[in-house]
Chain A
């Protein structure tokens, strides 16, 4: 890395302000003005529209295996999703996924 200290702090400052403005944007400027019903309907799907797309490449092509699909990680992902869906509980989903991951990694190490 060949940036000066000032340049690095400049990057940090700009990212801090820019990230805050992105997060503040609608919430800060719209206040309690009403949004059109169609926009509200679209926005209600925000979480299920963002998270799956964010996770899919990480599950299918994990960086830790050099981007090669990995059976243990695929099973762990399925376990997190399945247990989370079945119990409707985030904590159980995490525990299910992590247990499957370490059981799988342990088995692979033994074999």
Chain B
């Protein structure tokens, strides 16, 4: 008797995603609460704050937009600044093509809506480590990672809106974000080329920190990708 197990691995891919996604809620919780607080301080209505969180679903860009709105900047300037912060996600989008390009359009659209730092980093790590995954499994894994993160992002913004101002500053919740990003990147430093890319990224980003709205980060990321590829090519030649 042959029992079809075709469904099992796909379901496992989703569950594996959920398992790998939940730690990121520790980073999403303070970040989303903080957005709720700042949005109320800025004078947005509850609906508008939630509109940002659900429709835009990009923390750093939301903060950038709010900051300029508080200063009553011209609308095109607000849009440009916030979208520039998000431009790094075009790089994420491109780097997912080899793994998810063959998926149906609706799946790619859903991935695009949920393609933020945490879901992208967790998924790309899994895809690189498991080249045998099918496109279907990769899609399910991505959805699995997003499953604990996105609802928490929405819900905790609401908590920030109503209760956020009671959280003491001494909890230093601001620093949970850099800590989580560092914990995310550390396991990815698996070769000299990756370390070279990271070091170049840091140096250029710090040097260009005064440029507006993530422009420095974009240049730093591009320099770092070139550095990583160059070191990798040089090491392959030597072997």
Contacts and interface: CB of A to CB of B under 8 A. Distances in A.
Nearest to B195: A48
Interface string B68-108: 01101001001100110011111111111110111001001
A81 B56 CA distance: 30
Contact of B224 (A24, A48, A60, A84): A48
Task: Classify the secondary structure of B's interface with A.
Answer: helix
Nearest to A76: B179
Interface string B163-188: 00000011010111111111111111
B183 A93 contact: yes
A53 B201 contact: yes
B112 A28 contact: yes
A25 B221 contact: no
A24 B42 contact: no
B212 interface: no
Interface residues on A, range: 35 or more
Interface residues of B, number: 98
A11 B90 contact: no
A44 B12 CA distance: 25
B105 A38 contact: no
20 contacts: A11-B65, A26-B94, A27-B115, A33-B101, A38-B229, A47-B188, A48-B188, A49-B200, A50-B88, A52-B224, A54-B181, A54-B205, A55-B185, A56-B202, A58-B177, A60-B206, A73-B175, A83-B183, A84-B182, A93-B182
A91 B122 CA distance: 12
Contact of A51 (B44, B61, B185, B233): B185
Contacts of B169: 64
B229 A45 contact: yes
B105 A28 contact: yes
Given A44-B95, A62-B174, A64-B174, A27 B225 contact: no
A25 B180 CA distance: 27
Task: Classify the secondary structure of A's interface with B.
Answer: helix
A90 B187 contact: yes
Contact of A9 (B48, B175, B198): B48
A47 B225 CA distance: 9
A6 to B, nearest CB: 11
A51 B27 CA distance: 14
Given A12-B48, A33-B101, A77 B182 contact: yes
A26 B95 CA distance: 8
